[in-house]
């Protein structure tokens, strides 16, 4: 994590976050509520795995210090697939009605990669504990 006080012209020295990440892409977006939303793979790299299953949405109400998360996509078995299914390269935004929209690549085991789209609300993530 890094912060900026000059609208992104410069940033503080980055520090690791407490969230797990298997060296995969993430994307965050500031929400109208003042919270942050982050799409990421909540796993770590293990032998023979790319670690990109599942894909989760995290919501932080304290500038990234703590997160509530909920899986938005899991492989067909519902358990991490050791790289057979991949959910990666997320993009996320919030529209004026408060809906959060996310797109990401999905590569099911031994099949062609495709683009998936989901929509959800901040409450859908935060009420799931």
Average per-residue pLDDT for the chain: 86
Q: Tell me which residues of the chain have a pLDDT lower than 70.
A: 46-51, 75-84, 129
- 5: CB partners within 8 A, 6+ apart: none
pLDDT score of 82:
55
Percent of the chain residues topping a pLDDT of 90: 51
pTM as predicted: 0.81
- 3: CB partners within 8 A, 6+ apart: 11, 12
pLDDT score of 98:
97
Radius of gyration from C-alpha coordinates of the chain:
15
Cα–Cα distance measured from residue 78 to residue 57, given in angstroms and rounded to the nearest whole number:
16
Cα–Cα distance measured from residue 3 to residue 44, given in angstroms and rounded to the nearest whole number:
24
- 114: CB partners within 8 A, 6+ apart: 105, 106, 107
Tell me the CA distances in angstroms from 40 to 53, 54, 96, one per residue in order: 10, 9, 23
DSSP, res 46:
-
Note the pLDDT tens digit of each residue in 78-102: 555 555 678 899 999 999 999 999 9
How many residues appear in the chain? 129
């Amino acid at each position: 994590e890094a912060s900026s006080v000059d609208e992104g012209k410069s940033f503080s020295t980055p520090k690791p976050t407490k969230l797990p990440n298997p060296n995969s892409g993430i994307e965050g977006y500031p929400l109208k509520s003042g919270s942050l939303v982050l799409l990421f793979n909540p796993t770590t790299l293990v032998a023979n795995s790319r670690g990109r299953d599942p894909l989760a949405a995290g919501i932080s109400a304290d500038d990234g210090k703590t997160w509530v998360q909920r899986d938005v996509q899991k492989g067909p078995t519902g358990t991490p697939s050791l790289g057979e299914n991949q959910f990666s390269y997320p993009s996320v935004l919030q529209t004026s009605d408060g809906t959060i929209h996310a797109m990401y690549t999905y590569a099911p085991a031994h099949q062609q990669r495709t683009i998936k789209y989901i929509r959800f609300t901040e409450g859908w993530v935060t009420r799931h504990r």
